[in-house]
Structure 1
């Protein structure tokens, strides 16, 4: 399989910050990502607006509705990553080489009691925590680190 022949999967993500300037991360349930943490993100449905997709993914993965979020910014560009060879052809039914991601930054207006990791079936996260933005690249799977570093550089001054 030649990855160059495959498209990128459209994806939207959300960097959610609390009043203390810390970022929400969830620990993925799937065994292949054990011990790795990520921000809420997922596929964009056909015809869906990227902002709508980002807020939908946030709600599905955390239970946090749009009414509890103040959107601060949208990323200035799409961010891309390629799957490592061992995952190519295995995830997303083998249809994609990686993701083209559109990210948003938002302030959480609620409290931790508003978070429900089981809001969607199946759940994606088994635990969550709030972390300093600069630690994000060290928490994510290695093949997504460049994206997270770019997000911290772009959104960091707005936090």
Structure 2
């Protein structure tokens, strides 16, 4: 099957800003690479993107909906393609990449409200970073996506 005929996996991405204007990133547990990323997760059938975003914040970093306030939603969807060597290995080989809806949230809680030791743990470490540092920390195949997300939220991050 050609990669180009595979669909994109629907996904929600969450940029979580603290009171200092820094962004949450977690270090993925499933790779030996220095791969840091913002929380993101699949949108289930029949689920809207924002519902998925709030569910994933709980599943990935233990943050409940009452600890965040929506600031903005990116006006467009973003796409990325997996590198050839990962196609067929992730998501049971069903997808060529992801189509993502991005949400910018203000984190209203304390750092102690963040718990990455969740039931299906995805991150082994986490920290707050300056938004401008995001593209340098992400895996290379998502770098352009992160630049697009930063551009979409530029007004709110200024």
- TM-score bin, normalised by smaller chain: over 0.9
Residues 70 and 108 in structure 1, CA contact (< 8 A), matched pair in contact too: yes
5 Å-filtered alignment, 1:1-159, equals: 1-31=1-31, 34-119=33-118, 121-159=119-157
Root mean square deviation of aligned Cα: 0.9
- So what's the TM-score if we normalise by structure 1? 0.96
Query: 1:75-107: per-residue Cα shift (whole Å, max 9, x none)?
Result: 111100000010011110100000000000010
- So what's the TM-score if we normalise by structure 2? 0.97
Q: CA deviation at 1:156?
A: 2.6
Residues 60 and 120 in structure 2, CA contact (< 8 A), matched pair in contact too: no
Residues 59 and 120 in structure 2, CA contact (< 8 A), matched pair in contact too: no
Q: CA deviation at 1:3?
A: 1.1
Q: CA deviation at 1:28?
A: 0.2
The number of equivalent residue pairs is 157
Runs ≥4 residues deviating over 6 A:
none
- The gaps in structure 2 that reach 5 residues or longer are none
- The gaps in structure 1 that reach 5 residues or longer are none
Residues 133 and 156 in structure 1, CA contact (< 8 A), matched pair in contact too: no
Tell me the SS of whatever aligns to 1:54: helix
